[in-house]
Amino acid sequence: MAEHPPRHLLIPFAGRGSPACRAALPALKLPNLESLLSRLSLADTDTQDESTRSPPHERALAKALGIAAADGCIPWAALEARQAGLAAPDDTEGWGVVTLCNWQVGIDDVALGDPAAIEIDAAESAALLEVARPFFEEDGIALHASPTPGRWLARARIFDGLATASIDRAVGYPISQWSPLGDSARPLRRLQNEMQMLLYTQRVNDDRAARGVPPINSFWLSGTGALKGVTPTAPAPTVSDALRIAALRDDGMAWAEAWQALDAGAIASLLADYTRGADVTLTLCGDRAAQRYTVQQRGLARWAKSLFDRTRAATVLESL
């Protein structure tokens, strides 16, 4: 009899505390999720407050990969650089992710717009990388392109131990709330100011204005840290981004629709794998908490009870 490979599905923004998403929770109908939750057992809960720079889904992913790091120092850029061949396995220098973005200027503060919405193409990203590179190099920061336009990998000693907030925490909020603090972040703040002035003069932004898309007027640094003696060996979970955009926009209707599509798709598939005997894992993440559900041995009476019990999905998601 063939063995079923383990499957781990990790869902960011499964719960959301913003007003419209929270209002959409009670009416959510997620039969496959409820069926799956009634059959799996809660194996681990990670609960923090919403001031953490690393959101629950990033902490859960790091844990699944065997990466231990302080808040705001999960070395996502260093891991990506190693996987891309930009960093050797014994490289212990700090890396960070530089994401081009639109800072939205308001009356009282400046908010971070979602970089996923700026519609930057590869040519624009390459052109801006070339003009930005000398400014970063003056601060000892080496820039490298990544496969994603508008997203660069940066290598510098100052990134080792510099805590930065995930974009998923900062989008829609004043940048002053999430910008890195302390003396070690001073070069970064000066560089952001220089880049704002530089980007304002670029033809790329003139062309973007003509197309009616937001200007690229700054960058966000995240994913900072160094992979010191860490070689992730655990298989990576499948991470679903289906809920992200609606959650960040607090579009309750779109978030509910995305959840129902997820329930009919990836969740139904995971439930089918469980039914076939696979060793499945489900991790649900919200603003404050991540909960990991796994297959555990249970007595016959408890197994029979689980066939009729349905955990209300809304109750679980609200706790995240």
Q: Which of 5, 3, 27, 7 is nearest to 240 (CA)?
A: 7
Q: With respect to residue 206, please indicate whether it lies within any of the assigned structural domains.
A: yes
| Strand order across the 280-285 sheet | 41-47, 289-294, 280-285, 7-11, 238-239
Domain enclosing residue 44, as ranges: 7-51+235-318
Per DSSP, which regions of the chain are E strands? Answer: 7-11, 41-47, 95-101, 103-105, 110-112, 142-145, 151-155, 218-225, 238-239, 280-285, 289-294
In terms of Cβ atoms closer than 10 Å to its own Cβ (0-12, 13-18, 19+), residue 124 is: buried
Q: With respect to residue 62, please indicate whether it lies within any of the assigned structural domains.
A: no
Same domain, 103 and 205: yes
10: β partners: 239, 283
Same domain, 11 and 101: no
Residue 37 has pLDDT above 90, yes or no: yes
Of the three residues 225, 251, 281, the one that is the final residue of a domain is 225
Residue 130's pLDDT is: 94
Same domain, 208 and 240: no
- R_g of the chain computed on alpha carbons: 21
Q: What is the pLDDT of residues 94-121, one digit of tens each?
A: 999 999 999 888 777 889 998 888 889 9
Q: Which of 199, 47, 171 is nearest to 114 (CA)?
A: 171
Q: With respect to residue 57, please indicate whether it lies within any of the assigned structural domains.
A: no
Q: At what angle do helices 122-138 and 186-200 cross, to 10 degrees?
A: 130
Q: Which of 212, 207, 214 is nearest to 124 (CA)?
A: 207
Same domain, 43 and 107: no
Q: Please count the helices (runs of H) and the strands (runs of E) in the chain.
A: 14, 11
Residue 213's pLDDT is: 86
Confidence band, pLDDT 50/70/90 cuts, at residue 297: low
Q: With respect to residue 14, please indicate whether it lies within any of the assigned structural domains.
A: yes
Q: Cα separations (Å) of 28 from 17, 40, 251?
A: 15, 20, 14
Of the three residues 187, 203, 225, the one that is the final residue of a domain is 225
Of the three residues 225, 247, 278, the one that is the final residue of a domain is 225
Residue 38 has pLDDT above 60, yes or no: yes
Confidence band, pLDDT 50/70/90 cuts, at residue 296: confident
- As a whole number of angstroms, the distance between CA 207 and CA 247 comes to 30
Comparing 95 with 186, the larger pLDDT belongs to 95
Q: Which of 31, 18, 56 is nearest to 259 (CA)?
A: 31
Residue 310 has pLDDT above 60, yes or no: no
Q: With respect to residue 134, please indicate whether it lies within any of the assigned structural domains.
A: yes
Within 10 Å of residue 89's Cβ, how many Cβ atoms?
A: 8
Same domain, 260 and 168: no
Q: Cα separations (Å) of 318 from 43, 125, 247, 291, 311?
A: 18, 39, 14, 12, 13
Number of separate domains in the chain:
2
CA angle 226, 229, 233 (to 5 degrees): 100
Q: What is the pLDDT of residues 250-282, one digit of tens each?
A: 999 999 999 999 999 999 999 999 999 999 999
